[in-house]
Amino acid sequence: MSLAISYLTPDPNWFPNPAQALEDPNGLLAVGGDLTPKRLVSAYCQGIFPWFSEEDPILWWSPDPRSVLIPKTYKTSRSLQKFMRKQEHEVTIDQCFEQVMINCATTREETWINDAMLHAYCTLHELGIAHSVEYWQGKQLMGGLYGLSIGGAFFGESMFSKCSNASKVAFTRLCQLCNELGIELIDCQVHNPHLASLGAIEINRKDFLAKISKLINKPVKWQPEIMAEHE
């Protein structure tokens, strides 16, 4: 069966069925639309996310398989535990969301985090939907991550690290918070070796969609004070 990319309509809630996504490139589903909060939240709730370069139109993806991590199964390595005990650091939540995004963009040779994406996700942060975890050494922001918290799922977007283990510590704290709040799944989107080293696994898209359809309606109150930690 030949599949074609759909163009989005003005309705911010409408997306094509993820099963219609292309196999090559894996997961490309739709083009167009905008990055308003309503459309973005609707996309994530349907297992879809935007990912495009500066020169491209807005592209929407739902890859198969999907990389996910179950927070309750996350285990901190002995070497990381030792690092966390010995290295003075501070972990904060939602203290400098925009700076985390900017660092995620500038620490890579190529990035999809353009001005439009920065503005869109900062708006989601102001609405209490997008969140960041920051890793500090002294007054220097050395690592972190950001993503969206919707019900019992956390949709990870990107992370950065300017020193050894910075993003791993931030991710460890995120998993701890997820367990505290009852967030059952972290969407890692696409497999890569770094995510695999943290414990991410791949599941098929059908199973992923079934999981998030239940989790997004789970009542979860984001409480960043649980995460605040000084070492």
- Residue 226 pLDDT: 44
Which of left, alpha, beta for 158 (phi over 0: left; psi -120 to 50: alpha)? beta
Q: How many domains does the chain have?
A: 2
Same domain, 181 and 120: yes
Domain that holds residue 25: 6-63
Same domain, 26 and 134: no
pTM above 0.75, yes or no: yes
Q: Residue 1 falls within a domain, yes or no?
A: no
Q: What single letter denotes the amino acid at residue 216? A: I
Q: Which of 63, 85, 101 is the last residue of a domain?
A: 63
Q: Residue 207 falls within a domain, yes or no?
A: yes
**18-36 b/e with 16+ CB inside 10 Å = b?**
beebeeeeebbbbeebebe
In 3D space, the residue among 61, 48, 35 whose CA is nearest the CA of residue 209 turns out to be: 48
pLDDT by residue, tens only, the chain of 231 residues:
446 899 999 999 999 999 999 999 999 999 999 999 999 999 999 999 999 998 899 999 999 999 999 999 999 988 898 888 888 899 999 999 999 999 999 987 778 899 999 999 999 999 999 999 999 999 999 999 999 999 999 999 999 999 999 999 999 999 999 999 999 999 999 999 999 999 999 999 999 999 999 999 999 988 655 444 444
Same domain, 57 and 126: no
Q: Which of 45, 63, 81 is the last residue of a domain?
A: 63
Same domain, 47 and 125: no
Q: Residue 50: give its domain's CATH number.
A: 3.30.70.3550
